[in-house]
Structure 1
């Protein structure tokens, strides 16, 4: 059985924290809103930027669509600030050598692919799904279901790698496994301290997929022998 890794982008594959901080500071200033930086940054880690903008729209009588357009435009203008997370390329290289297939699923827009190119990691990914694809936002599993069905992924050997509770929730809603940089380990999630920790988990992942394939082969042989 093939193992599939679906990656979140901001905060997981890419270090974009400073760019996001700058954009949110500018957004609050543009709309003349008081900016509690510590609260805002904690909120988007626990929830999401989309949730923050929806909250602002409700409480301040603003257009959520306009807020999101402002954020996306200013974030894309700072794409040059984005750097690959430590260990990202090494993990992609090692896991690809072991037959693992990679994908990106992010709320970031259409400039995601050019950023991946600039970071030198675009070639590792089978497909990059962004906000431009029009799927419902996480934790809705719609985009994950699209990838699972298109690439005929076995859910037991498919992992969504992220950095927020939102990412774990999306994985759980899709019925797949989760690797997460912030959430504690539980029945569907494995906490990782950094991306290099994935390489420590790799042997068990590959063994489990091999055992599943062997079981499937034996079952088919038994059925054919009847």
Structure 2
């Protein structure tokens, strides 16, 4: 199926009738790239290492904190690095996080239209604080973190868990992500993938603006879904 980069003139027929959206967190709900850089460079500085390379910046954006620390810190410091995660000063990283523009409007639209919304992220115990920071925690249920289930992304277990909680099939939902990890997770789960500001990913829809997506969903609801015979 051909990929579509949505805009104000995109016909609403490109959006199938959906009952739920599964979101990644970092890079999708929030812009945390600078926060991640600050966080992992703190560890680099602690162990007298050079700052993150461009490739390392991309890696830590997509992987769990455990995988990321093992990737950017030498093995002899792994245990100490894991213990240092508990230091209160590392909470400063949250100051660099911003909510994605237009997201709140999309979430409000979803709630108004009885769309289920959940999160499948490789974040760990920091997810609740991030959601609470922007007052969006009540929009999502369930929220799947890297430590909730035996397998984290790109394994599809998190998606299967959400579908089971919602009593839905894979074709009932879409997955919005921004990395190859999300793309692979959605593909392995059999869920349609929409890429957010990541034009190189293999996705059904490419989204650059949540305002545009919300308007397109509203048009689809009124002009397409209302005439759809599917349940």
TM-score by length of structure 1 reads 0.77
Equivalent residue for 1:170?
185
> Do residues 61 (structure 1) and 78 (structure 2) align?
no
The equivalent residue for 1:157 is: 172
Q: Contact conserved, 2:24 with 2:120, CA < 8 A, in 1?
A: yes
Larger Rg: 1
Partner in structure 2 of residue 10 of structure 1: 26
TM-superposed deviation, 1:210? 6.6
What TM-score does the superposition give when structure 2 sets the normalisation length?
Answer: 0.75
Greater helix share, structure number = 1
On the 8 A contact 2:41/2:52 being kept in 1, the answer is: no
Gaps of 5+ in 2: 1-16
Instruction: Please name the residue that 1:113 is paired with.
Output: 128
Measured on the aligned residues, the alpha-carbon RMSD in Å equals 3.0
State the Cα distance separating 1:183 from its structure 2 match: 4.2
CA contact (8 A) 1:156 1:177 kept: yes
The alignment of Structure 1 onto Structure 2 pairs a total of residues equal to: 210
Q: 2:31, 2:98 within 8 Å by CA — same for their partners in 1?
A: yes
User: Which of 108, 123, 127 is matched with 2:138 structurally?
Assistant: 123
Q: Could you tell me which residue of structure 2 aligns to residue 27 of structure 1?
A: 43
Q: Following TM superposition, by how much is the alpha carbon of 1:198 offset from its aligned partner in structure 2, in angstroms?
A: 2.1
Name the residue aligned to 2:211. Answer: 196
Contact persistence 1:2–1:209 (CA under 8 A): no
Q: For residues 143 and 8 of structure 1, what CA distance do their matches in structure 2 show?
A: 11
Deviation for aligned residue 1:195? 2.5
Q: Deviations over 1:172-199 (max 9, x none)?
A: 111101111214474x531111323322
Match of 2:57 in 1: 41
Structure 1 alignment gaps of length 5 or more: 217-226
Shift of 1:72: 7.6
Deviations 1:193-218 (A, max 9, x none): 1323322441447845973xx346xx
Provide the residue aligned with 2:107 in structure 1.
Answer: 92
The 8 Å contact of residues 146 and 153 in structure 2, kept in 1 or not, is answered as no
